[in-house]
């Protein structure tokens, strides 16, 4: 069971940026749901955490994050993606 995901991106301004996305496993949500939660500060709209149901596998979470990064247009800048246990 993973607890967080570290995403490393290449940034033209800073060189390298790292983001930590928390994975929150909840039992009072539907079993197979993945709900994103977004930051309000300091930069609104960035992915902060994912609330996941208890029967969602780690592979499904990984595929969701890859799809999210594709849709956000950030997949080409991704250097590494690690899951912390």
**Cα–Cα distances in angstroms (integers) from residue 70 to residues 4, 8, 20, 64, in the given order:** 19, 15, 18, 10
pTM: 0.85
**Cα–Cα distances in angstroms (integers) from residue 27 to residues 16, 76, 85, in the given order:** 36, 34, 19
Could you read off the pLDDT of 13-22 as tens digits, one per residue? 888 989 899 9
SS3 state of residue 52: strand
Whole-angstrom Cα distance, residue 34 to residue 27?
A: 12
Q: How confident is the model at residue 1 (pLDDT cuts 50, 70, 90)?
A: low
Could you read off the pLDDT of 32-69 as tens digits, one per residue? 999 999 988 877 778 899 999 999 998 999 999 999 99
Residue 84 pairs with which residues in a beta bridge?
4
């Amino acid at each position: 069971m993973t607890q967080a995901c570290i995403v490393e991106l290449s940034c033209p301004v800073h060189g390298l940026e790292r983001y930590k996305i928390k994975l929150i496993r909840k039992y009072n949500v539907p079993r197979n749901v993945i709900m994103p939660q977004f930051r309000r500060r300091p930069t609104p709209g960035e992915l902060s955490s994912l609330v996941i149901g208890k029967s969602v596998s780690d592979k499904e979470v990984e595929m969701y994050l890859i799809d999210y990064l594709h849709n956000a247009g950030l997949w080409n800048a991704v250097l590494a993606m690690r899951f912390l246990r």
